[in-house]
Amino acid sequence: MNNSSKAFIKYIGRKLLFLVITYIISITIVFILPRVIPGNPLSQILSGLSRTGQSNPDAIRAAEKALMEQYGIGKPWYVQYFEFLGNAFKGDLGTSFTYYPRKATELIAPVIPWTLMLLLPATVVAWFLGNTLGAFAAYKRNSWFDKGVLTTSLIISQIPYYWLGMLLVFFFAVKLNWLPAQGAYSQGLIPSFTWDFIADAAKHYILPFLSIVISATGGWAVGTRLLVINELGSDYVRFAEYVGMKEKTIFNYVYRNSLLPQITGLALSLGGALGGSLITEIVFNYPGTGYLLFKALTTLDYPLIQGTFVILIASIYLTNFFVDFIYALIDPRIRLGQEA
């Protein structure tokens, strides 16, 4: 085994150790946060028992005691913590308070595909649009195209997302009545691979998809424009111009070099997609993980809050580790720099 391979293994080992430590710290914060919110987390279950006719105070108290034992809420905090930590590594995210007796995983699993189908394509499309517009704007610096892209991108990136979403709903759903205002599909339909359901879901998909693409494109365009402008001032660009290299060839090199930081940003955005886009899913009443998390927060559903965050944190960290792994494979200076 040569020195480069040893350096690569050490680099990956350090990254893995850092991944485990930061994951434990993160889910520790996830364990603490719901417990500092005032209120009785079992109130939803007890209210449900009262509504179903079990209003006898003794029966309610007995039920509360049984539930506290089941969830371990009466146990010392450190016992709860280590049980939570062990279960998190085993994939057991607990039983929901609000949807008792359903497991948190049973509630999270069905909404993940809706979130991924919305966020992944929207993020990728916004990334390509933003980077392409930003690169051409930088290349045509101070032209009408550059000024138009820069001004529009700055305005779009500063517009509050919920306002943009509501504008789309107002014009396309309320005034023009072209598209549905909320939901992932019409009430009464059952999700299936039929043409009627796919066409209906596609109509519900357009507005939330457009809202994400429009709001994200501006940020990517502004970032890429700055990166390309910096790259155009590099020594290798001046040398290429001096020796008479074609303008198109120089631009291709500049564009590829400028994309490296943006690829990292894209990977992190895709890694965080599993957590859903909270405001998008609230504005459009879209049944994704963000909307589920919002309902869990409003009802103090500890297991559902913790479960959603545990999955989100794991996806972000694994994506980050994957990006580091790819970078180390592509660029030996990264792993050798760690070694030094």
Which of 112, 76, 70, 106 has its CA nearest to residue 91? 106
Question: pLDDT higher for 147 or 319?
Answer: 147
The string of pLDDT tens digits covering residues 17-65 is: 888 888 888 888 888 877 776 666 666 666 666 665 555 666 666 666 6
Contact assessment for residue 304 and residue 71, using Cβ atoms and an 8 Å cutoff: no
- In angstroms, rounded to a whole number, what is the distance separating the alpha carbons of residues 294 and 297? 5
Rounded to the nearest 10°, the torsion over CA 126, 130, 132, 135 is -160
Decide: helix, strand or coil at residue 190: coil
- In angstroms, rounded to a whole number, what is the distance separating the alpha carbons of residues 34 and 307? 12
Decide: helix, strand or coil at residue 125: helix
pLDDT of residue 204: 92
Contact assessment for residue 79 and residue 336, using Cβ atoms and an 8 Å cutoff: no
Does this model's pTM top 0.85? My answer is: no
- In angstroms, rounded to a whole number, what is the distance separating the alpha carbons of residues 340 and 337? 5
Count of Cβ atoms closer than 10 Å to residue 324 Cβ: 21
Q: pLDDT tier at 326 (50, 70, 90 boundaries)?
A: confident
The string of pLDDT tens digits covering residues 147-200 is: 898 889 888 888 877 788 888 989 999 898 899 988 888 888 888 888 888 999
Contact assessment for residue 179 and residue 173, using Cβ atoms and an 8 Å cutoff: yes
Tally the C-alpha atoms within 13 A of residue 124's C-alpha that lie toward its C-beta. 6
